[in-house]
Structure 1
C-alpha cells in the first residue's frame, strides 16, 4: 500500500504557530495540538488510538501501513479541529542518551567542537551513528556545564520516513523526559525535581536541574503491574481488574487499605526501591550536577491516577510528592473539553511536546 498524505489541509491559523505533539510507543499513539497565539494558547485537539500488534518493534515503526491506519483513525475523529501539520515528535526514553558534561570556558565558536569530544567520550555509541544536540546548563568563571542528548540515526530516520509520507512536517525531535518536564515542572521552578512517569508497560524516572533532565533511568513497574496483581488475587479478567483498581486504589477505609497493601505489596515495594535507589545515587554518587538534593517528586502517567499512591510514596521516600498538573505551564483556552486532569496524566509528554514553540 502506498501511504497518502492525511495532513495536507490548509491551516486555519498560521502554520508556524500551531504545534502538534506526537507521543507513541508499542501500545498507544497520542496526539495533542496547541495553537500559540499572541496573548495566549489554545488547546485545539487531543486524541489517542491503540496501536495494533506488529506495527511497532522496540521503538521502531515496523509496519507503516498499520501505523497509517492508527493515525488515520485519530485524524478522522479530529475532523476540522486538527488544523496544522507541524509536529514535535517524542523519542522513547530507552533510545536516548543524556549526559551532563563540563568543558573549560572557551570562545563560543569552539564550544561545538569541545562538546563533540566530550560526547564521544560519554555516549556509548559512535557519533557517526547518532544525532546529538546540547543545551547550556550553567556558565561558571572557568567552565561551562551542558547537557548532551543523543539518539540513534536509524531510529530518527525511521520516524522521518513515515511521517513525511503522511504529510507531517517534523520541526523537532525531543526526548520524552524533556517534553514531560516542560509539561509538569513550573517554568519558574529552580532546584532539583524528580518525575516518576508510570506508564502502561513501564515507568521512567528522571531528575531535573532547573527543569532540564540531567539523569534518567527506568523501572519495570507499570500500570499493568498493579492490574496483574488484582487479576491474580481475585482470579478475574483485565477489564474487571481495571475497574477494581480505579474504584478502590490503595483504599479509603482501614479494611480496604489492608486488602490493597496485601494485593500490591510486591509491586509497591519494588517501585519504592527503584525510586529510593535513584535518589540515593543522585544525591550521593552522581558527579557534575549543581544540586545534590531532590526537592520534590512529581508523579505522572496513567499510574498517577491510582488513589492513594502519591501519599504512599511520600511516606515511604520521605520527600514531598505530588500528582502532576500537566497544564501548569499552559496559558490559554482548552477547546478539548474531554481533557480533564485525570486523563491529562497520560498525556503529559504529548502536552509538553505541543507546548514547545521554537
Structure 2
C-alpha cells in the first residue's frame, strides 16, 4: 500500500508586498521540470512587510493566483516563505543528548540566542551534523501571528501550508544547491533588499535593508515624467549603464545605491569579525527583479571588489512549462522555485521540520 505523502508535488508560494508567485517543480536528470507557475501583482497596502493588512483583498489575489495559473497545480499542499524580518535563525553546537532530552535542551538553547519570547514564535530545528559528543543544529524561529495569518489565508482557498521557511533558505536551495563556497546572496526586491551569507552550505547570517526597487522606479517616473510602467522598463533597460540613454537614468539612480553599498560592507565586516572560523566571501549572487537592471552586476562587482556570479538553475526546456519558464522568470521566481524544490527533501509526515 502506498503511504500518503503530502510533500509529493507540493508547490511553493512566495508572497511579497507587491507580488504573489507560485511554482510547482521537481528535479530530473535533464534539469528542473516545471509543472506550473504564475504571478499576480498586489496593490500597495494590502501586505506590508509580510503582514496581511487587508485580508479580503489578499484572499482575492491568492484566489487569482491559483485560478489563472500556467499549467495545473497537482496538490493542495503549499510551502511558503517568511520574510527575513519575521524570522530568526542560528547555527549552534550542543552536547549529544538522548532524543528524550534533546527537545527541552534545544528550547533552552534557543532562548539564549533569540531576542523574543518563544511564546510569540514557532520554533523549528534541523540536525545538520552529529557525532558521539556533539550535535550541530540549525534553529529557526518564525513569528507566530504572521504564520497563523498565512495558514488561515491558504485554508480559505482550500490549500494547506505544510512548511514555512525563511526566504533565504529557499533562495540558497534554488541558486546554490549543495555548493559550499562562501557566498553573499543579494535579493533585490520591489519593497526591500535582503542579504544572506552562505558558508559551508548553510545560511549563516541574514540582514534586510529598506532599499526598494519600486522607489527607484517612482524616482525615474517623477524626474522623467513617465508612467510607472515606462519607468520600470527604463530602469531595467538602462539602469546603471553610463552608455545607455546617455547616462540619464544612471545619474538619477547612482547616489541612491550608496546606503546599499555601505550596508553590504557592514554585513561583510560583521560576518568576518563575529563568526568563528568564518571564511572570506568569495562571490556574490544576485536575484530578485532588481537583478535584471542593466549595469547592476558591473557596478556592484567593481564597488565591492568581488566576483558577481549568477548560477541559473537548469530548466528542462523540452517540457511545455519549461519552455515558458525563461531565465528572466528564474531570477524573479527564485524564492518560489526554491520553495517548490523543498518538497523533495522531506519524508512522509515530517511536516514543518521538527517543532519543540
Q: Same fold (TM over 0.5)?
A: yes
Question: TM (normalized to structure 2)?
Answer: 0.86
In the alignment, the residues of structure 2 paired with residue 78 and residue 181 of structure 1 have an alpha-carbon distance, to the nearest angstrom, of 25
Aligned length: 340
Residue aligning to 2:127 = 136
In the alignment, the residues of structure 2 paired with residue 205 and residue 91 of structure 1 have an alpha-carbon distance, to the nearest angstrom, of 14
Post-superposition offset of 1:313:
0.6
Q: Which piece of structure 1 moves more, 302-311 or 51-60?
A: 51-60
Aligned residue for 1:18, secondary structure, equals: coil
Post-superposition offset of 1:102:
2.7
Q: Which runs of 5+ in 1 are unaligned?
A: 1-13
Relative distance call for 1:184 and 1:40 in structure 2 (3 A) is: closer
Q: Which piece of structure 1 moves more, 65-74 or 307-316?
A: 65-74
Aligned residue for 1:150, secondary structure, equals: strand
CA contact (8 A) 1:282 1:292 kept: no
Relative distance call for 1:62 and 1:260 in structure 2 (3 A) is: closer
Provide, for residues 318-354 of structure 1, a one-character-per-residue CA deviation record: whole Å limited to 9, x for no partner.
Answer: 11112352x25x6786532332111221210000000
In the alignment, the residues of structure 2 paired with residue 342 and residue 80 of structure 1 have an alpha-carbon distance, to the nearest angstrom, of 18
User: More relative contact order in 1 or in 2 (CA 8 Å, sep 6+)?
Assistant: 2
In the alignment, the residues of structure 1 paired with residue 68 and residue 306 of structure 2 have an alpha-carbon distance, to the nearest angstrom, of 42
Q: Which piece of structure 1 moves more, 81-90 or 260-269?
A: 260-269
Residue aligning to 1:7 = none
Residue aligning to 2:67 = 76
Q: Please show how residues 262-277 of structure 1 align to structure 2 within 5 Å.
A: 262-277=251-266
Post-superposition offset of 1:151:
0.9
Post-superposition offset of 1:202:
0.8
In the alignment, the residues of structure 2 paired with residue 266 and residue 140 of structure 1 have an alpha-carbon distance, to the nearest angstrom, of 50
Relative distance call for 1:317 and 1:80 in structure 2 (3 A) is: closer
Residue aligning to 2:111 = 120
Residue aligning to 1:10 = none
Provide, for residues 62-113 of structure 1, a one-character-per-residue CA deviation record: whole Å limited to 9, x for no partner.
Answer: 4433223212222222276223211101111111111222323444543332
Residue 344 (1) aligns with residue 330 (2): yes
Residue of 277, 289, 296 corresponding to 1:302? 289
Relative distance call for 1:311 and 1:140 in structure 2 (3 A) is: farther
Residue aligning to 2:303 = 316
Post-superposition offset of 1:29:
0.9
In the alignment, the residues of structure 1 paired with residue 70 and residue 189 of structure 2 have an alpha-carbon distance, to the nearest angstrom, of 28
Residue aligning to 2:226 = 236
User: CA RMSD, aligned part only?
Assistant: 2.7
Residue of 214, 228, 233 corresponding to 2:204? 214
CA contact (8 A) 2:59 2:156 kept: no
Aligned residue for 1:83, secondary structure, equals: coil
Post-superposition offset of 1:18:
0.8
Relative distance call for 1:263 and 1:235 in structure 2 (3 A) is: same
Relative distance call for 1:261 and 1:248 in structure 2 (3 A) is: closer
Post-superposition offset of 1:212:
2.1
In the alignment, the residues of structure 1 paired with residue 70 and residue 245 of structure 2 have an alpha-carbon distance, to the nearest angstrom, of 48
Post-superposition offset of 1:134:
1.7
Relative distance call for 1:253 and 1:77 in structure 2 (3 A) is: same
Residue aligning to 2:320 = 335
In the alignment, the residues of structure 2 paired with residue 229 and residue 106 of structure 1 have an alpha-carbon distance, to the nearest angstrom, of 56
CA contact (8 A) 2:49 2:83 kept: no
In the alignment, the residues of structure 1 paired with residue 241 and residue 30 of structure 2 have an alpha-carbon distance, to the nearest angstrom, of 44
Residue aligning to 1:20 = 11
Residue aligning to 1:88 = 79
CA contact (8 A) 2:38 2:65 kept: yes
Q: Which runs of 5+ in 2 are unaligned?
A: 347-356
In the alignment, the residues of structure 2 paired with residue 91 and residue 314 of structure 1 have an alpha-carbon distance, to the nearest angstrom, of 29
Q: Which piece of structure 1 moves more, 140-149 or 129-138?
A: 140-149
CA contact (8 A) 2:180 2:199 kept: yes
Aligned residue for 1:239, secondary structure, equals: helix
In the alignment, the residues of structure 2 paired with residue 308 and residue 132 of structure 1 have an alpha-carbon distance, to the nearest angstrom, of 41
CA contact (8 A) 2:234 2:249 kept: no
